[in-house]
Amino acid sequence: MQRDLLWYLASKRLRPDHDMMDPTVVDLVERWNALHKEGRFSALNVREYWRIKVPEIYSPQLNCNCLRITFDEELAQKLLFDPLERFMCGGDPAQVFQMVKQLDTPPSLCGRVFKNGDPTYGCRDCGMDPTCVLCAECFKNSAHSKHRYKISTSSGGGYCDCGDKEAWKSDVFCDIHVKGQMVQQSQNPLEKLPPDLTERIHLIFECILPYAKELLTYEVVLSIPKDLEIRESDREPTNLSSLYDIRDTYVTMLYNDETHTYDQVISTLERAIECTHKDAVAFATSIDREGRCIVRCSSFQQCSQTKSLMEKQTSRGGGRPLKVQVMDTYIIAHQIFASRLLTWLHNILESAQAFRLIFSDIVNKDGGSIVENIIWTDTNMWKTARVQWHRLFISGMLMDQESKKLFARTFTKHYSKMMKDFILDDHDHSVSVASLGVQLFTMPTIAHMLVAEEDVLARLLNTFLSECDKKLRDNKLALEHRSSNTSSFRRIQYILYDLKYLLGVKPEIWTDDLRRGFLHGYSLLLRLLGMMQGMDPMVRQVGTHMEYEPEWESAFNLHIKLAAVIPLVIEWAASDRIVLIKAYRLLMKSLGELGTEATRRRYVRELLDYSVSCIEYDVSSAPVSIHLPLSRLVAGLTLHLDRYGLNYNSPEFLVKGKPSPEELMEPVLRTQVMIAQVHAGMWRRNGFSLINQIYFYHNVRCRQEMLDRDVMLLQIAATLIDSNEFLVHLLNRFNLMNWARDDYEIIYLRGNDEDNMRQTVVLVEEYLQLVMTVVAERYTPGIGQVEEEDRIKKEIIQLLCIEPMPHSVLNKALPEGTNHETGMEKVIDEVADFKKSSGATKGYFDLKKAYYSHYNLFFYHYTREEQSKSEVGQRARKKAAGEEECCPPPVPPPFTVPFTMIVNILQCDVFLHIIKTVLKRMSETKAQSVSESQLQKVLHLIGYALHEEERYHRNSDPYFHFTRRAQKINLLALLEGLVGHHRTSTHKDLLAWTIRKYRVVLNLSSDISKPAHETEAVLASTSSSEASAASAEKKRRAVIATQRKARIMAKMASMQQNFIKTNETFFQETPSTEQPVDIPESTPMDLTERLPEDMIAIGPRQTLAQPLDVTYTCILCHQEDAVGQGDGTTGRPMVLGGLIQRSTVLSRNRTCHLEQPENHDPLLLPADLHWGVHTSSCGHAMHAQCWQKYFDDVVTKERRRPYRFRQNLSFDIEKSEYLCPLCESLCNTALPLLPGVTYTAATIQSQNPAPTKSTIPIAEWLKGLHTILKYKTVVMSGVRPDEEGSHQDDVQIDQTPQRGAVPTSGVVVAHGTVSLPATANSMGTGGSAPILVVGVTGGGGASINVGPSLLRQVQGEGGLRGRPPRWPRLPLNKKHKKGVDGKEEEEDYSSCAEGIWTPPTLPTVAVDLMSVSSPEAAEAFTDLFNNPAATTMPTFPSQTSDMMSSFAHAVYMHGLGVNPNFSSRRIPLMVWDTAAYTIHTLEETQRNASRALLTSLSSRQRDCLAALVKFAAHVPLCVKKKQNIEGAVVRLLSVLLEGGETTPCVLEWDAFSILVTLSLGLPSVFPNIQGLAIGSVQDLHLLQVCFLAHLVQLLLTYEEQSTCTEMKVVDKTSETNQESSSSTGNGDAAWLASLLVHCRTLANLPAVNVEPQNLLDYVKESCLPFLRCCGLFFHFLTEVPAPEELQSSVWVPESEFYCLLRYLGLAVNHLKPTFSDPGLLELVNRWCSDSRVGPLVTGAGSEGCVRSWTRINQLVSLPHDYSELINTVSQFPCPASSGDDSRTPTMCLVCGKMLCSQSYCCQTEFPEGSHQMVGACTYHAHHCGAGTGIFLRVRECKILLLSGRIKGCFVNPPYLDEYGETDQGLKRGNPLHLDATQYARLHTMWLSHAIPDTIAHTMESNSSVLATEWQHL
């Protein structure tokens, strides 16, 4: 409904002033003007007018269709808006608007409000924070598009920050908005406005706003505000409007909420208002979008009834019912008008600044009472009403700095109330007024103002705390999991986001107000943290397990939100000395207040000479918590004290109850000890809650404010406590005081408690680890002398030491700063090399060699898995490089001054005592309390001490002297004593390193002259060579491959085992046919090397070799069997798993679809290949019997599975799908493996070395064919139109026709009847109605009697009016009922529209041929069909025949998508079609990859095609009735040789498909003769005819411009070739040119200028695909080895052209001789003179014919830059709902159509009448891709694959970022660019029909619990 103002203004200008105005309006405005002059005009006048006019225009009508309520908007404009505008402007609105607009400086702020799904762009280089975003328009025109931008999609509500100086560090303006900046804001535009105009605008705005507010929040639904009521007095005698009558018109209004699901709402509506499902969906969609919807408009009683019905239904089960109201229609009218007014106002505000200033003036009057009012009533409104107000605030106030401040103040004042309303509300945050917080608080000046002047921090926190107070238990927050008010606590946490926004930028200048405001908020934050300190405490469970898992997630969720705030608080506090001191004092006080008597209890612990007063506590029995935010805040603040010359002991911090250093670290230490105990297995009974908490404590998402702060705090404590005492405190807390005693082992042995000992060993390890962390982890700025970048570098080095990582993985493993930045980009190039992606693997980062020496094995962020993985990796790397196999500690950076004290730990007595204890016990064989890990850690600690001493030595600082102190414990001797000890073997290299290092350091003190760096060099662990790294990677891959292989083998073995088990009897019965293994397997292709170049596949010169047996291994029983002997008896029958799918992939005409598969005549493929059936196979062979068993098992298993689990399957058992047992490829049939066809022929040839092949000339052969046609019989029959729909062909399954169904009429037409076929006879006698028989040539004796109209029907002479019939809809003879009956006739013929065609017998033809030609010709012709080579049939075992019929039927059923019908006459035709289509596909895939015909064919492609072609050759053997074959062949011959109106013309056939069908069918054309295609001379002739037909197609569609560049290039490069063939080539060119003229003349086409050479080039290029198809077909049919050139790695099209001519037995080097026979010219004449040819050639689009014969279908071309793509869809409206944006715009990559996916609005019932709704993609895929689809979900950047209605998957999009990674769902947001390789891969997948298989594999590999309902996408 939003009106664009520009349009609006334009329309204004067009309208003549005044004349068009309604006279009443003129009066009205004049009246108002008069009142205004008197100063008496007020809102009341306007309301008085609206009172009557608004209900007139906007009332819904009684019993109207609620889905299509429309109002007369034109009238509304005239009567309602015109007066407002005219009065407001005091004249012509258009002029005034123009004038006001001109006062405006061009806008320097964009402020475009985002809708849900709009793309937004942030800049990582310039954005102040991640909320600063640009709209697409500004982004495109800004400098940021060249920066590191981030793209994401808006969830609605925000606006574009372009031009906001506080949002961008640089490039604040885009090119559009910079113009606004350049013009100086001279003065307030209001001052230039005439005062009268300002006043009028004021008056109107002041009138609109309260009205809209009142009406949109109107709560009393049954009556209307008093002053808007229609009164009795309004009834004028002249006014007949029903408005004033007493009325009973109400509406039932249904509201949106977030608790009820779509489906609940839909089903409620279906029942309550009894609407259709479709309408209910429409209602639900509208409710979801608008927030409410009128569902009934009726009497009060009816509306109330509906209301209570809906409430009852939706409150079932005790839930809150849906909100339903019965409302007065007048209220509705006013509400609709109010909403229109807001839109009107919004547009006006957007148009000019003056309007905005006036608006701001009004709403901020009286301290913002209007704003306040609206904020307070926000949750009383429905969704769209709220959004309208919010939009108004944005357009009216947020564009201007001063107004924005005013608004921000009002907003802050009412924040608390607003949030409390929001908690109780049930709408999303994004439609709450509270969501405007982000717009205000992210602006630093406003934020600082609010903190200083409005106490915003305290307001926010108080609101939050008031909610927390409700959840206190023992003064701690206790968040229950499933309590009823968790949702309110979840909602209140939005406050924490606002808090984060406010603190986003720290102030540069502090004022006292700011300090006060900040510290007030801070003190409340401390209260909150105090509530969290120690929350969710855990007590170690002993004895029994925990009964239930305690809740932990809520606390962590709260932590994560606070963790974003706390660093900002620290940053603020640290930026001002006064604030810092006060904050630290407050913190110490808070901590002090938490202390109790119990926490102060001490006892004394003694070790060596040290007595330490320790805090009494036992972690293993008392409660411990992970949540210690107050303690951690101490760590955060303490780090900044030094900057102001402060420290913990400064007098400023002397406060009562200030905790001592021990007390400070105590809580943190307890947590550490608890975790250590968990590692020691002491907390096993505490369940997963604890494990999860510890996991997150360490995890990158939480650790910054957990683990990291804890380590910091311990390090701080270590500087404050004496080192010896510190270590004792730790020891005591770890409960290791006893362990540290020298006599521990002896005392322990007496106790003999093994469990305890194992725990102690681990605890010591943990203790050592903790000490090491405190001493060695120094990569925190403030602790070590490092910068932030060093910290990141360290993290990256440690991560890459685990393994090389892709960018995304690395990025995820790094902690994010407040700006969602990891800082990785700044440093990554320094430490790592990026290895580009290759093929399927992502690009990844590899650590630079120099940095391996930085590797710290005990890095504190490592998980245990990462630690061991990295250690294994690094040791392996060193071993490969021939280095010591150990990872000694790296040199850490030096501590900062305040932390220097920590190093003292490494030389203190207790430390030395501890390492001595470990080393000594290590050397005692019987000591049990030590471990290798302890030794390793101790050695590391010594290493650190030595590093440190070295550093101190270099600085000539005598303070640290480890070696001297270590003499006390005789450390060197201890270490040397361990060398060679069996317990130290794992770490012998490390031990050696330590001793060596020790000696070096020792020498330093004595030998000062030695330069230090030399020793460093000795010790520096250099990294390995690149070669070794590469070989490691190779090895890794090899290992993976081996593992994979092993898995598959294991799977196979187990499968085989199971299989043999279940088939035990079968295997015992079957004699083993295993052959000796050493016989080399050979396939026909192996012969190529030995054979001469000129192989010829067909014709009289055919090269034949004895086909060899091919042996297959059954993947199920692992036995081998041979297939291939002519008799087919050796070996048991075998099959390949196969997949048959309908396809439109090759379609050259996307407007054409196969609409009625039930009636489709598959006689031949259409020239545009708009549909076809593709067969594929994974090439895995199985015994037919094994397969059957396997398949039956699958079916039984699936049938037993509960229905609800079936949805999840990757295969659809209802469509007889299954997965290949070996490779899990999708299959839906089994393709029988049959012997070759040339077996007999080859045998005969080898027996008669001089073959006496009688080659029949093509002319004679054609005569023979014509003779067949001459004597054919055609019985036309048909069904009545009303019967047509019953699809009898496909419904009846193996059902013998009912005898009673005797046809009432029928007709037999014979062109020639030598002897009438039996069928015709039987019909003649069986039919009760007269049967008409026509004899054209009086040969037979049958009586002939035919009506003339009937003849026309058959011959098609004007039988149909108008446009000639279009292929493929063959004319149906509808006027006559079926005339077929018959004892042996089956139901199949009932719908055989094209009639029953019967050939004559061979003798008949021979006799006739003899008379018209010669006896020799007759003999030769007879021999073609009679010779033993072609007619010796293999005898298949019955099982093979069964498999054959079953496969043939599967092709029919799956290919057409029809019901089973084993006797359909279309079965053999479908098999031949699929063979042709599959060959076409393979040819295109090869050509697409620029490959020669047979180059790099995979074995699965080869096996599949070989089996398919052989099967197609044998298909006549397995059809139920051979007459079907005969009939089809005769029909096809008639199409080819006779033509006629009823058959498709030459431009409508696919010439190759005719060739396939005729080659395979013609040998069986005669009754009683079963023949095979063997590549005989007949095949050659057929090829000649079909090739000629194709040439005619090419010539007819030739366009001079289409010069074939590719061939030309080839010509130029091979000059000699051209020279030598120029004479012949020219001959061809001239011949083709004359043929072209000839054809075009016949077709009545205008003459064209032809350059013969161009024409020849064109023909050679264009007919190559046809020849390639023929090559493939005859290669796999005859098994004649192909010349090497067809398999060469370089594809030279022209030479392949000649090569194929030779291979196909055609005239080599020129075309003309092949077609020189006059008989062929006659055919050309017939084809071209068809009256339809001309119009087809000249026609365009779907009316035209195929023109580009070589085009390979591509997926739609996508823009290079992804943002371009997403911008184009940002405005894509849902086609089903008017004007609304689609949420999931999805593009079909096949045709480019944009769809509104995964949305109720665009679901369609499919199949019609099934009551099943499918999504837009599924529906589209059905038509566009015959059920298979490939889509791009644009907003999420995901590729969606769909197949077979219920299956689908997502795969990687072809868009990659600079790191070669995809970004599904735009989670990373990096700029994405189209990757041609990836897209080509998708294209190949689509082109090779691999989508269903890809889906099956993907679904199989990730079986998620939650099934996606793919059909709804």
Positions touching Zn ion (CB under 5 A) are 110, 112, 123, 125-126, 135, 138, 144, 147, 160, 162, 174, 176-177, 1114, 1116-1117, 1178, 1180, 1183, 1186, 1220, 1222-1223, 1225, 1774, 1776, 1788, 1790-1791, 1793, 1796, 1799, 1801-1802, 1824
| Half-sphere exposure at residue 1029, Cβ-oriented, CA atoms within 13 angstroms | 14
Structure tokens at 986: 């794992």
Q: How far are the Cα atoms of 947, 995, 1000, 1001 from residue 1007, in angstroms, in the given order?
A: 17, 18, 10, 10
CB 504 within 8 A of CB 442: yes
CB 1388 within 8 A of CB 1463: yes
* Alpha carbon distance 1311, 1168 (integer Å): 32
Beta-strand ranges (E) seen in 912-984 are none
Residue 815, preceding peptide bond in cis (omega within 30° of 0): no
Coarse DSSP helix, strand, coil percentages of the chain, rounded to the nearest 5 percent: 55, 10, 35
State which H helix or E strand residue 44 sits in.
helix 43-58
Closest distance of CB 1184 from Zn ion, Å: 9
Closest distance of CB 1452 from Zn ion, Å: 24
Matching residue, tokens 């913002």: 368
Which CB, 1685 or 1836, lies closer to Zn ion?
A: 1836
Residue 1807, preceding peptide bond in cis (omega within 30° of 0): yes
* Alpha carbon distance 1407, 1187 (integer Å): 50
Which amino acid, 677?
Q
Which CB, 971 or 1790, lies closer to Zn ion?
A: 1790
Q: How far are the Cα atoms of 614, 729, 730, 1752 from residue 604, in angstroms, in the given order?
A: 6, 10, 14, 87
* Alpha-carbon dihedral sign for residues 1859, 1863, 1868, 1874: positive
Closest distance of CB 140 from Zn ion, Å: 10
* Alpha carbon distance 605, 615 (integer Å): 10
Which CB, 126 or 1493, lies closer to Zn ion?
A: 126
Q: For the chain, how many helices (H) and strands (E)? A: 74, 31
544 DSSP 8-state letter: S
Which CB, 949 or 1503, lies closer to Zn ion?
A: 1503
CB 1806 within 8 A of CB 1905: no
Which CB, 289 or 1374, lies closer to Zn ion?
A: 289
Residue 1231's SS3 state is strand
Which CB, 1680 or 1774, lies closer to Zn ion?
A: 1774
Q: How close are the terminal C-alpha atoms of the chain, in Å?
A: 28
Closest distance of CB 160 from Zn ion, Å: 3
Q: What is the DSSP string of 127-190?
A: BSSTT--B-HHHHHTSGGGGS-EEEEEEESS-B--TT-TTTBSS--S-TTTHHHHHS---S-HH
Q: How far are the Cα atoms of 359, 977, 1267, 1571 from residue 1788, in angstroms, in the given order?
A: 46, 75, 51, 46
Which CB, 1546 or 1788, lies closer to Zn ion?
A: 1788
Pairing, β 1855-1856 against β 1120-1123: unpaired
1162 DSSP 8-state letter: -
Tell me the backbone φ, ψ of residue 618, rounded to 5 degrees: -125, 110
* Alpha carbon distance 619, 537 (integer Å): 11
1081 DSSP 8-state letter: P
Closest distance of CB 179 from Zn ion, Å: 10
Closest distance of CB 408 from Zn ion, Å: 21
* Alpha-carbon dihedral sign for residues 1302, 1305, 1310, 1315: positive
CB atoms within 10 A of CB 1045: 10
Q: How far are the Cα atoms of 693, 891, 954, 1642 from residue 1016, in angstroms, in the given order?
A: 42, 10, 12, 95
3-state secondary structure 742-763: CCHHHHHHHHCCHHHHHHHHHH
CB 734 within 8 A of CB 678: no
CB 307 within 8 A of CB 325: yes
Residues 6+ positions from 1341 with CB-CB distance below 8 Å: none
CB 1219 within 8 A of CB 1408: no
Maximum CA pair distance of the chain? 135
Closest distance of CB 1822 from Zn ion, Å: 10
